[in-house]
Amino acid sequence: MYRARHPDAPGGRGTGGHTMQYVRRPVREQMRESIPAVVVGVALLLAGSGLLFWNEGRAVQTSRSLDEGYNAVIRVPSANAVLEENNHKLVHVWGALSSSPVLTDDAYGVEIHAVRLKRRVQMFQWIEEESSVRSEETPGMPTDTSYSYSFAWRDKVVDSSSFSIPWGHNNPTSIPVPSIVQVAETAKVGAYRLSPAIKEKFTDFVSFSGDEQPEGDDIKLHGGMYYITRDIYNPDIGDLRIQFYFAGRAGEVVSIVGQQIGETLHPYLTSNGNELLIVHMGKRTVEEMFSSEHAQNRFLTWSLRVGGWFLMFIGLTCVSNIVNSLVVCSPLMRDVVALGLGSAKLTLSMSTSLIIIGGAWAIYRPGLALLVLIVAALPFIRAAAQHKPSEGSSRRANGYRGSP
């Protein structure tokens, strides 16, 4: 940032009672020397700002949809009968699941009454591991990279043609038995049918297996998994193992908030265009379900806020030379940093993030938005308040003439 003038230059002094004079380098010169870092920094700043703005818009819309749904939902006392007066309205229903027909996989003797049945297939394959070692005695020498090979079960095909040493480490190019998810044609909670969108909400899969050993010597049942191999304990490359999972087993109690259309429950379209559909396992009240959704929304919102702020902080770090120059050139910015978080990058990234967050909430919750904006501007307000008197007193000290 600074360039020292030579001791013998005019206006400068060397050592031995001589003084050194420093000349600040222009911001343009610093920018030219750090163009790649500036480009990356600007890209990260834009990405962080975009993420924060999108996240706040999503959080606001989700919160409004949940509030609208909570005020409109009708509590159905019993799921055993569909009430015509609730048609096209948002309802809260709970009861035991039922499904038909039974989901089966005849090849492995598996069958279960559930909303979803998943078959997961893994293949025994070669995998490559890369390790790099840098010599401490010769730091200028290139890094020594080595490759090792071992076996592992994998859900997808590992492309052995891309290995550093493909010879002798050949994997099959496809898995002969696909992984699939079966969905029950009909699923109900009491008398209410579940739409495909609700069936997709059952994602908490539980592993299980059949009770009998499948026919044939090539399929072996061990530890809840089906192995297609000659030796379970010493599999060959290309051998398979298969595991089954269910989600939404018949008889389990489930609570649903959705729109009743005829006898079927569907997602509910709110006034802002968002779809509202809540599915929780177990008996849950309306208050419990909406409170849980609000909590999940807050957790996701804060996670993305931290991610957006971090991108902006890294972006400001990439353009730190320019930020530091602005701080040095501006007494006000120096006061902002001193009264803020002690770091220009940290202070600016936090304040900018809070301004974006506050702006997104300005219409929906103006009180909260105003509070956030005040916190964001607090370092600048305090610095400006202290900076003006100091400038005035300095002016008076330099230009004041006392009476003779």
For position 138, what pLDDT does the model report?
57
- Ranked by mean pLDDT, which of 43-57, 87-101, 317-331, 380-394 comes out on top? 87-101
Please report whether residue 20 resides in a domain: no
What is the mean pLDDT of the segment spanning 368-390? 62
Q: How confident is the model at residue 323 (pLDDT cuts 50, 70, 90)?
A: low
Please report whether residue 181 resides in a domain: yes
For position 188, what pLDDT does the model report?
96
| CA 137 to chain centroid | 42
Please report whether residue 282 resides in a domain: yes
For position 212, what pLDDT does the model report?
73
CA distances from 351 to 1, 354, 374 (A): 25, 5, 10
For position 109, what pLDDT does the model report?
86
Q: How confident is the model at residue 343 (pLDDT cuts 50, 70, 90)?
A: low
Please report whether residue 3 resides in a domain: no
The answer to whether the peptide bond before residue 101 is cis (omega within 30 degrees of 0) is yes
In a 13 Å sphere around the CA of 315, the CA atoms on its Cβ side amount to: 21
Q: How confident is the model at residue 56 (pLDDT cuts 50, 70, 90)?
A: confident
Q: Which two tokens stand for residue 76?
A: 């159905």
What is the mean pLDDT of the segment spanning 118-132? 93
Is residue 345's pLDDT more than 90?
no
| CA 203 to chain centroid | 19
Q: Which two tokens stand for residue 129?
A: 């591991």
> What distance in Å separates the CA atoms of residue 372 and residue 361, rounded to the nearest whole number?
9
Looking at every residue in the chain, the average pLDDT score rounds to: 81
Higher-scoring residue by pLDDT: 25, 248: 248
> What distance in Å separates the CA atoms of residue 300 and residue 307, rounded to the nearest whole number?
11
How many domains, in total, are found in the chain?
1
- Ranked by mean pLDDT, which of 108-122, 315-329, 377-391 comes out on top? 108-122
> What distance in Å separates the CA atoms of residue 183 and residue 360, rounded to the nearest whole number?
40
Q: How confident is the model at residue 357 (pLDDT cuts 50, 70, 90)?
A: confident
> What distance in Å separates the CA atoms of residue 279 and residue 197, rounded to the nearest whole number?
11
Which sign does the torsion angle of CA 85, 90, 92, 93 carry?
positive
What is the mean pLDDT of the segment spanning 370-395? 59
For position 23, what pLDDT does the model report?
52
Three-state SS at 370? helix
Q: Which two tokens stand for residue 345?
A: 């990058």
Q: For residue 192, what are the contacts with CB-CB under 8 A and spacing of at least 6?
A: 79, 82, 93, 95, 256, 260, 263, 264, 265
Per residue in 206-228, pLDDT tens? 999 877 777 766 788 988 899 99
Please report whether residue 197 resides in a domain: yes
Q: For residue 269, what are the contacts with CB-CB under 8 A and spacing of at least 6?
A: 259, 275, 276
Pairing of strands 90-100, 74-75: parallel
For position 338, what pLDDT does the model report?
47
Please report whether residue 37 resides in a domain: no
Is residue 27's pLDDT more than 50?
yes
**335 and 386 Cβ atoms separated by less than 8 Å:** yes
Structural domain range at position 117: 71-135+142-298
Percent of the chain residues past pLDDT 70, beyond the cut: 71
What is the mean pLDDT of the segment spanning 228-243? 93
For position 62, what pLDDT does the model report?
93
State the Cα angle at 307 between 306 and 313, rounded to 5°.
85
For position 370, what pLDDT does the model report?
73
Please report whether residue 375 resides in a domain: no
For position 404, what pLDDT does the model report?
40
Is residue 251's pLDDT more than 60?
yes
For position 53, what pLDDT does the model report?
85
**Hey, which bits of 199-252 come out as E strands?**
206-208, 219-222, 225-228, 240-249
pTM comes to: 0.72
What phi and psi, each to the nearest 5 degrees, are found at residue 255?
Answer: -115, 135
Please report whether residue 202 resides in a domain: yes
Is residue 85's pLDDT more than 50?
yes
Q: Which two tokens stand for residue 340?
A: 């803020």
